[in-house]
Structure 1
């Protein structure tokens, strides 16, 4: 296994993750039916997002929470959905990468999942 060190590594990780997640029977529909993401537009945003988080490169320009609230309004994004997202992300990271940055990718994803789940639940209650 190799260390997660480059933008190319992030692209490979994100591509592998999305290949898995869009086919997933528990959460794939969020991507294909609810948000109807266009991968050719979405993936570069995700590369930049993770590059910013993991390498401190400020390449991501966006609002992750703002992007997810409209999806949550169409179909509630609940804790089990975030748990599955996290499970798939961790498995994808662990299958290809090792080391500090790979561990950080998992730790950051856990924080993201917790925060997103909390904010989506809060938005549904308001």
Structure 2
């Protein structure tokens, strides 16, 4: 397996990841019924976010913590939700990629999730 290198890699990863999330009723309702995401747009925003985080390129400037804080006010994001999210995230990376960027992405996701849980 190769490492995450391109925007296309990130899109593949986010697409595979969301297939898992949206198939799990313990968490899918947050995306479908609460946030009411448009999947195609949401995937592009996620790719923009991770491209900025991992490769320091792009122009993603949204306040991710505020977005999730607002979501948490609509429907409580529990420790179980974060655990499910991280499990699918890490599994999807491991199924598709291996390398320094892939490991960095998992570390950054854990860090972001931890900060969100503390701040909410």
| Separation (CA, whole Å) in 2 of partners of 1:62 and 1:117 | 18
2:85 aligned with 1:85 = yes
- Count of residues in correspondence between the two structures: 120
2:65 aligned with 1:99 = no
Alignment of 1:1-126 (within 5 A): 1-120=1-120
Kindly report structure 1 stretches of 4+ aligned residues shifted beyond 6 Å: none
Q: Which runs of 5+ in 1 are unaligned?
A: 121-126
Q: Normalized against structure 2, the TM-score is what?
A: 0.95
Q: CA RMSD in A?
A: 1.0
Q: Which runs of 5+ in 2 are unaligned?
A: none
CA drift of 1:78 comes to 1.5
CA drift of 1:74 comes to 1.5
Q: Deviations over 1:19-67 (max 9, x none)?
A: 1111212211110111111112211110000001111113312111111
